[in-house]
């Protein structure tokens, strides 16, 4: 039987539902990360409004964590925004790749679902079995992940306040533990990842002795030098991710 | 910082949204040079290295060992492929225990 136009129209709610279902595992994965973000934001002395605001406006886990550590380190506004930008330029790749497979939706709709691109939503969408990805699917996927991110940021913030002071002190390690937890599994699989992290770590440690490079600018500079030079020294190595 | 923080957050939101939106909405060709693609893929791992060191040693300015112990605990937990939240919680509790020694 030939697919009729009516069948095509009925597809929209179905795609939405598929997107929501595909978003649920992401939402579950986001819960502890968002909760920890809220907890750390409280420790970094952000207000509840600023904490939820950051999750609502930025919606990018790693750069929100980085922002917290930079706020604690008294970095300036320009450093914070530039670091966020450098951290999130990688979404260009994902957006470009989604465009290849996305249906020809109107620009305003693409402008909306572009907001929901994260490492996780992209990975799920990019590996979905559908030939063409529809706007309703991407919206369903994105909104489920996003709502969970925002809500649990607030929950983490409110619950963090009830913890004893000695425990709150030892929570200073949480941010770094989270970075280590993100890095180590990738480093176990790839020498290139080890080279990238190690060279940036060494550079930033050296920069920490230079007064003008202390803090945010040192992070930006060491990241860029490491990312560019390792690409030239180790090109073609390890395509396993 | 506090008064202007909300504007910093808005700025973070804008610079995060632009790379997400540009290729999908505006670009007609999606052809980034492979070298640029490679560099962009490198950024998350390089930045993690720079974020961890030397910062992790400074969480207790009077005792570098404090951060070192926490980092070691996190490293071991992460090496065992434990979930991120478990890694975070174990390093917190190791340090919490350390303060009672």
Mind listing the pLDDT tens digit for each residue in A192-205?
999 999 999 999 99
Does the beta carbon of A181 lie under 8 angstroms from any beta carbon of chain B?
A: yes
Does the beta carbon of A145 lie under 8 angstroms from any beta carbon of chain B?
A: no
Task: Give the integer Cα–Cα distance in Å for B44 and A177.
Answer: 16
Does the beta carbon of A109 lie under 8 angstroms from any beta carbon of chain B?
A: no
Query: Nearest C-alpha of chain B: how many angstroms from A165?
Result: 11
Task: Give the integer Cα–Cα distance in Å for A91 and B41.
Answer: 10
Q: Would you call A95 and B21 a contact, using CB atoms and an 8 Å cutoff? A: yes
Q: Would you call A177 and B74 a contact, using CB atoms and an 8 Å cutoff? A: yes
Among B22, B35, B67, beta carbon nearest to A95:
B22
Asked if the peptide bond before residue B54 counts as cis, ω within 30 degrees of 0, the response is yes
Nearest-CA neighbor of A171 among A12, A40, A73, A62?
A40
| Structure-token pair, residue A207 | 């920069």
Helix pair B34-52, A174-189: axis angle to 10 deg: 140
Predicted pLDDT of residue A207: 93
Q: Report, as an integer, the average pLDDT of A186-193.
A: 94
pLDDT at A93 over 80: no
Predicted pLDDT of residue A152: 94
- pLDDT band, very low/low/confident/very high, at A178 (cuts 50, 70, 90): confident
Q: HSE on the CB side for A7, CA within 13 Å?
A: 4
Q: Are A130 and A103 in contact (CB under 8 A)?
A: no
Predicted pLDDT of residue B2: 57
- pLDDT band, very low/low/confident/very high, at A2 (cuts 50, 70, 90): very low
Among B13, B35, B74, beta carbon nearest to A176:
B74
Q: Report, as an integer, the average pLDDT of A145-160.
A: 94
Q: Show residues of chain A in contact with B74, CB under 8 Å.
A: 173, 176-177, 180-181
Residue window 46-85, chain A: list those with CB within 8 Å of chain B.
46-47, 49-50, 53-54, 57-60, 62-63, 66-67, 69, 71, 73-74, 77, 80-85
Q: Which residues pair with A159 in a beta bridge?
A: none
Which of A62-66, A165-169, B4-8 is most confident? B4-8
Predicted pLDDT of residue A198: 97
Predicted pLDDT of residue B22: 92
Q: Show residues of chain B in contact with A193, CB under 8 Å.
A: 45
Residue B40's closest chain A neighbor by CA? A90
Q: Show residues of chain B in contact with A214, CB under 8 Å.
A: none
User: Model ipTM?
Assistant: 0.85
pLDDT at A147 over 70: yes
| Integer angstrom CA distances of residue A136 from A105, A124, A132, A166 | 10, 15, 12, 47
Q: Show residues of chain B in contact with A224, CB under 8 Å.
A: 46
Q: What percent of chain A has pLDDT over 90?
A: 42
Q: Are B66 and B98 in contact (CB under 8 A)?
A: yes
When the pLDDT of each residue in chain A is averaged and rounded to a whole number, the result is 85
Cβ atoms within 10 Å of B65's Cβ, excluding its own: 12
Does the beta carbon of A93 lie under 8 angstroms from any beta carbon of chain B?
A: yes
Task: Summarize pLDDT for A54-86 with one digit per residue, the tens.
Answer: 999 999 988 998 899 889 888 889 999 999 998
Cβ atoms within 10 Å of A52's Cβ, excluding its own: 18
Q: How many Å is the Cα radius of gyration of chain B?
A: 20
Task: Summarize pLDDT for B63-98 with one digit per residue, the tens.
Answer: 899 999 999 999 999 999 998 778 888 998 999 999
What lies within 8 Å, CB to CB, of B52 at 6+ separation is A176, A179, A180, A183, A197, A201, B71
Q: Show residues of chain B in contact with A200, CB under 8 Å.
A: 46-50
Q: Report, as an integer, the average pLDDT of A143-156.
A: 95
- Write the DSSP string, B6-33: HHHHHHHHHHHHHHHHHHHHT-S-----
Higher-confidence residue: B35 or A51? A51
Task: Give the integer Cα–Cα distance in Å for A156 and B54.
Answer: 27
Q: Are B32 and A93 in contact (CB under 8 A)?
A: yes
Nearest-CA neighbor of A124 among A98, A100, A105, A149?
A98
Predicted pLDDT of residue A173: 83
Task: Give the integer Cα–Cα distance in Å for A67 and A41.
Answer: 10
Q: Are A172 and A195 in contact (CB under 8 A)?
A: no
Helix pair A216-233, B34-52: axis angle to 10 deg: 130
């Amino acid at each position: 039987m030939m697919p009729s136009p009516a069948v095509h129209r009925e597809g929209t709610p179905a795609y939405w539902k598929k997107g929501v279902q595909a978003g649920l595992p992401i939402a579950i994965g986001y819960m502890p990360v968002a909760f920890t973000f809220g907890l750390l934001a409280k420790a970094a002395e952000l207000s509840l409004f600023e904490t939820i605001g950051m999750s609502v406006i930025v919606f990018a886990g790693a750069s929100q964590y980085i922002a917290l550590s930079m706020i604690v380190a008294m970095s300036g506004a320009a450093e914070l925004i530039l670091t966020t930008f450098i951290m999130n330029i990688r979404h260009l790749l994902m957006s470009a790749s989604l465009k290849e497979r996305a249906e020809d939706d109107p620009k305003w709709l693409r402008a909306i679902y572009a907001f929901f691109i994260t490492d996780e939503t992209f990975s799920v969408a990019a590996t979905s079995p559908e030939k063409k990805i529809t706007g309703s699917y991407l919206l369903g996927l994105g909104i489920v992940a996003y709502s969970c991110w925002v809500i649990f940021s607030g929950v983490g913030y409110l619950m963090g306040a009830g913890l004893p002071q000695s425990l709150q002190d030892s929570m200073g390690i949480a941010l770094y533990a989270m970075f280590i937890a993100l890095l180590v599994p990738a480093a176990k699989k790839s020498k290139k990842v080890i080279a990238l992290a190690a060279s940036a770590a060494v550079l930033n440690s050296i920069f920490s002795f230079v007064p003008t490079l202390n803090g945010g600018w040192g992070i930006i500079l060491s990241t860029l030098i490491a990312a560019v030079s390792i690409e030239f020294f180790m090109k073609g190595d390890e395509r396993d991710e | 910082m506090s008064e202007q923080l909300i504007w910093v957050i808005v700025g973070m939101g804008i610079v995060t949204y632009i790379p997400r939106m540009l290729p999908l909405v505006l670009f007609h060709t999606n052809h980034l040079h492979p070298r640029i693609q490679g560099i962009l893929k490198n950024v998350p791992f390089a930045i993690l290295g720079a974020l961890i060191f030397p910062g992790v040693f400074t969480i207790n300015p009077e005792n570098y060992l404090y951060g070192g112990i926490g980092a070691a605990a996190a490293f071991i937990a992460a090496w065992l492929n434990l979930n991120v939240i478990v890694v975070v919680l174990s390093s917190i509790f190791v340090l919490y225990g350390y303060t009672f020694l």
